[in-house]
Structure 1
């Protein structure tokens, strides 16, 4: 079937002319073919140029993208990122280290002082620092090609996000540590680098604290006791450990002293308060400070009342021996008073108080009274002759005090030459030194009762 090139009617194949318009079919076909050839020759060059431009544009874009990718791959390569870490650790640059470190425990927020503590540890432990740098250096090599896989106790290189949404971003993930702190005291306060972390309750003497960044830390325990405040500290290295938990033992024993005595049974009194009792003559006291702010003595009951031992202030000694004043015999006390009265009469005659000064307990009132009285008698020209002196009774009033009752007779000679006879019942108070040497001292005249007063002779001048 043919078509007429003029009227576009169908024409049978055996006809050479169009039955509608009479046009010759061959001529029209030749003209149509010729026209189509010309059109094809005109459009082919146009299409070829467009394709070339498109291809060139695609190649340029591909080259740019490929170049950018290769640039990024080089810039953010694992080797370069790890080399940045190596340089930061070599320079001990805390700010640079902070850019790439993280911890395996998300609850731990890394602070500047944490990194500084780790840097201090690196400086103090050069072998550990060498291990760290060696590990990082091995990480710059593809671990798939390495004969042995790099490892480090306190951290590892990990992928953490993307750079430019394409390239792996590497960080140094460090192990977080915990401390199991134990102490020997209850109610202890635990400090880490001077920051209070926890207070132990009455029923606990240990506590797990953390997490902590690797490094060197000062761990301190404080506890208050009845007599002193206990404190101890220890420098703890949280690094180079297989386990993430480190045990820290802080002993708060304090200073203990032994109080012993020549008596087996007595109460221990500390700073005025009863503390305990001797057991077989000794008592362990503590913890106590060594600055002599704690004073100790012993007490026991006797027939005449409470007896106290000598007192001592606790210093740096480990043992203190406290003696009770020994009971002095009645005859010895009586003899002391008798001798003192004879010496007193002699001192009056010679107007010399120094003869009897060392016999006195200077805390007693008679020391000043008798000294002044001797001077008074000398001015008046009065002297005494001791005729009779009898010890009638000796009574122990306390652990260091005795009362001696005497009968005394005198001839009193006055300045005008007259003489009188006088008799007395006197009570003399004697103290016994409580420091263990048993020395007796004249304290005071407790009572002075005149029994008789008679003229022996009148004035002679």
Structure 2
């Protein structure tokens, strides 16, 4: 049986050409008996040196064969692919980093890049599955004899990943194809709304280059998360804006400065502008000016400062969030006590002026306000109106405090909520203080020559809740003296105004009511003429009615004459009367009797009242 020397196919003995590959077959040679057993020449014996050389050659061949197998194993595409895919699936950061290289040799794949990649796959698992499928397709491409590198421009019929590709990069160890998992760098583009911006990426300054469509390129970076800070410098300030960029999602990001020129409106002239606590060097006019550009994203605060006759005043810090700012200047700490003392003094003056109806006590008000109060006092006098009042609490709305400057000087305003107990009344009325809460806007002006504040004006406001307050309390007992003096003077005035006829009328009414109560056996018919504080006399008259009832005695009131009235003090009077009655006894007899009685009468808030019957003397008695 014969075999083809070229392809090894079995062929018949007599065949000249191979039926499979067409190769010419060599003629077979027959061996003679002598050659089969014949006399072969003998080989010379090997020397020791020859044996050593032969063994070395064999060892080298074995070494090269082993190295070849090791290199073959290291560079095996399928093994590398399986190891990389397994590392990606198991989220093995170290394993992924071992195989992953940058498509740009100037960029290095770090552990952070791999961690960002795995985090991205965790958020978007379908992206991971798509990448794994693409790498497998690329591996098959090479198995089918595909050559070259995978690039995006190859077309949709060739598997390509914008993220990671399996690339065939030359030879390794000069013998084996070298396969790499290359992560593709991304050009980071920014759009910003200000031209002269410098950039810092993850703490390192980078140069921006203008590219098409108004974008700025910061260069190429491996996919991952980066912090990009934009720094904008102008004549007033340095602005910084930091954004987070993720190159897995997009290569284009917007770093927009929320800035604008803002209009600062103020009535204070020559006020210096401070931004985030630092002076900018800009001084404003009294009518306001534009300032900027500055950020308007609420990351910056602005305030003003200016020298005034009463010290440096500052405006409240304003968060910049729009194109217009209205700073409010507040009183400096060294003036707050003086201002509150001025308002306290004015309240004391105004209260005392109304109680005493005396316009001369006004000391803490401007001339125009003093004239207004004088008009009020004159009206009270002309209408015989009186006033008593106590202030118990004052709440200052600190948010309402503001300092204003105009051509006439320096002013300030503030709003208070004041608790009062007060009453307006006429001389024949009993004052009953009622609780009132007054919301008052005070306007103060600074008296530069005398270095003090005076109240320029005041006006009432509507009730509202204050958020930022300072509370002042006042003791009622410290304000009693003026009220007590007023009431005492009113009692004197009333006492002096009571005429003899007034006493005649009162005593006649009282005695008539007393006789009516006796006959009706009902004390209540006379009780309203008796001093409610005269407990002893109340009991005495109640018992007297009961006594007359037990004796069956009735009376008729004939007449009364007030013979004398004597002032004991501003409250009590000694009144002497001559009274005539017809007295009916149970026996049926009747007597006409005349008595001289002496009473103590008290001037109460409700008028004259009998306080006590001090003495009664019978002047005459005749049958009736």
TM-score by length of 1: 0.48
Higher relative contact order (CA 8 A, sep 6+): 1
**Superposition TM-score, scaled by structure 2 size:** 0.37
